[in-house]
Amino acid sequence: MSTVRKAVVVGGNRIPFARSNGAYAMSSNLDMLTAALDGLVARYGLQDERIGELAAGAVLKHSRDFNLTREAVLGSSLSPETPAYDVQQACATGLETVLGLSDKIKLGRIESAIAGGVDSASDAPIVVSEGLRHALLELNRAKTLQQKLKAVSKIRPKDVTPVAPGTNEPRTGLSMGEHQALTTVQWNVTREAQDELALASHRNLAEAYERGFFDDLVTPYRGLTRDSNLRADTSLEKLAKLKTVFGRQLGDRATMTAGNSTPLTDGASTVLLASEDWAQSRDLPILADVVDGEAAAVDFVHGKDGLLMAPVFAVARLLGRLGLTFEDIDYFEIHEAFAGTVLSHLAAWEDEEFCRERLGLDGALGKVDRAKLNVNGSSLAAGHPFAATGGRIVASLAKQLHERGEVDGRPARGLISVCAAGGLGVAAVLEAR
C-alpha cells in the first residue's frame, strides 16, 4: 500500500432503461449487466483486459445469481482473470460500488475497476410461501416414506400461492411511495412543484439525447435506443391530469402520481474507474476525479425522519468535511426516486431550524440553484432500475463536468445524492478533469 492517490472516471456505459415488462421483459439481470459491460469494453477497447476488480449488484436478485458480477465478467469480452464481487445497498448499490472501488484505487490496491449495477423488475424472483418452504425443507430432510408423507401432508392449499416480489419496507410494511407520501406532506411539497420537477427531468433528458450527449454513454439493447420512460412531449397539463397513486388516505393532501414518481424499470449501467497512470498509459480519457463520498442512515422506523431523507444528512456531512458550500457546486445530481423526495431534500436544506437542530449547522445549508439541478434529466424521465441508477448518474455527471471544464479558475464540481430503502442515503463529489 502506498500513499493516497487519485481515482478517476474514464467513462461509462449503460443500456437504455426500459419500463418493466417492456423491451427487456425476457432479459435477466445477468443478460443486461453483461450487455452493459460489453458495450463498455467496446467503447474503451478493453477486450481481454484484466481489470483490477469489478463490483456490481442488483436489488432484486435471484438466489441463483449469487455471483452475478463474476458471472457477467465470464460472459463478457473482458479477461476471465478479472476478479469481481457483488454489492447490495438497495438503490445506493451503484454509487457505493463507485466509491468502494475508487477507494481501492486511491490506496493503490488496484489500477483499474469497473463499477456497475443492474435491476430487473420484470424478471424478479418469485418466492414460495413460508409454509411451502418449510414443508419442502422437511421433505428434503425426511428419510423414510412415512416421514416424507408427513412432510407433504403439512402443505396447505394457501401455501401454494407464490409470494409476489415486493419492495415494501420490512419493518413498516409500507411501500416506498407510501413512505414518501408522508414525507412530502411533512415538507409541504405541492403537486405543482412535483409536476414541474418531473417536466424538467423529461425535457432535460430529451434535450441531452437530441444533442448527442448520450452517444458515448448508452449502447442500445434489444432494439431499444432510448430510455422507454422518456416522454419528450409531456407537459404540465398532461401531468396535472394524472390521478394520485400514493398517500390516498391523505385525501386532498395526496399529491404523488405516476408522473412524478419513478416507474418500475429494467436496466444496467457500468462505470470505468482507474488510476491516472493506468488511464494515461492506455490513452484513455479522464473525465473526472472521484473526490469523496459519504453514507448516512435515518431512523424512519420510529418516524424520526422520512424513509428517503438520509441523503440530506450525507450531503451535509460530506460538504462539511470537504469545506464546501452549495456555492461551490456547479451540478447537483439528486436522484429522483420521487419528485417529492428531491423537493423534500431541497426544503430541508433551506430550513434553518432543521439544519441547526438536525444537521448541526449554524443556519440553513442553502438553496439549490434549479438551473444546476439534474441538467441532463434524472430518474423521473430515464426510469430507475434500482442498482443501475448510481452508475448512470456518475458517468453522465463525469462527462458533463469534463465538458464544462473549469469554473472561476477551479475544476467544475458536481454533487451526487442517492436515497435508498432502509433509510439509507449516499452522497459523492466529483470534479472535472
Partner 1 sequence: MTDKYTAFVSRGWGRDLAKRLGLPQPVALRRYAADERLPGPALVVGSGPSAQALADALEGWGVEVRRDGADDGGASPEAGSDGARRPKLGAIILVLDDVEGPEGLSAPVLAAGRALRSLAACGRVVTVSRRASAADEPSLAAARQGVEGILRSLAKELRSGSTANGILLAEGVGADAPSVLGALRFLLSGRSAFVDGQFLTVGTDGGALPLDPDRPLAGKVAVVTGAARGIGASIARTLGRDGAKVVAVDVPAAGESLARVANEVHGTALQLDITRTDAGERILEHAVGRHGRLDIVVHNAGITRDKLLANMDAAKWDSVIAVNIAAQLRINDALLASDHFGDGAHIVSVSSTSGIAGNRGQTNYAASKAGVVGMVRSTAARLAARGGTVNAVAPGFIETEMTAKIPFATREVARRLNSLQQGGLPVDVAEAIAFLASDAAGGISGNVLRVCGQNLVGQ
Of 128-136, 210-218, 331-339, 360-368, which segment contacts partner 1 by CB under 8 A?
A: 210-218
Q: Does 108 contact partner 1 by CB under 8 A?
A: no
CB-based contact 217:12 (threshold 8 Å): yes
| Residue 35 C-beta: closest distance to partner 1, Å | 7
- For residue 9, what is its C-alpha cell? 472516471
Q: Which region, judged by CB under 8 A, interacts with partner 1, from 20-28, 185-193, 208-216, 420-428?
A: 208-216
To the query of whether residue 91 is one of the catalytic residues in this protein, the response is yes
Pick 43 or 203: Cβ nearer partner 1: 43
CB 97 within 8 A of CB 5: no
Grid coordinates representing 327?
456555492
Residue closer to partner 1, measured from CB, 44 or 278:
44
- Answer yes or no whether residue 75 interacts with partner 1 by CB under 8 A: no
Among 67, 77, 129, 167, binds partner 1 (CB under 8 A): 77
Name the minimum Å distance from CB 40 to partner 1.
9
Active-site residue identified among 179, 202, 384, 402: 384
Contact 349, 355 (CB under 8 A): yes
Helix (H, G, I), strand (E, B) or coil at 354: helix
Among 24, 187, 214, 332, binds partner 1 (CB under 8 A): 214
Q: Determine the residue type at 116.
A: G
* Cβ pair 298, 329 in contact under 8 A: no
Please identify, using beta-carbon distances, which residue of 176 and 279 lies nearer to partner 1.
279
Cell of 247: 398517500
Distance CA(291)–CA(43), nearest Å, equals 25
CA distances from residue 289 to 111, 274, 276, 431 in whole angstroms, order as listed: 14, 10, 9, 5
Respond yes or no: is residue 355 known to be catalytic. Answer: no
Q: For the window 257-296, what string marks contact with partner 1 as x by the rule CB under 8 A?
A: --------------------------xxx-----------
In terms of Cβ atoms closer than 10 Å to its own Cβ (0-12, 13-18, 19+), residue 233 is exposed
| CB-nearer residue toward partner 1: 48 or 406 | 48
Cβ neighbourhood burial of 321 (10 Å; 0-12, 13-18, 19+): exposed
Report the catalytic residues: 91, 384, 419
Site residues, partner 1 (CB under 8 A): 35, 38-39, 41-45, 47-48, 77, 212, 214-216, 218-222, 225, 283-285
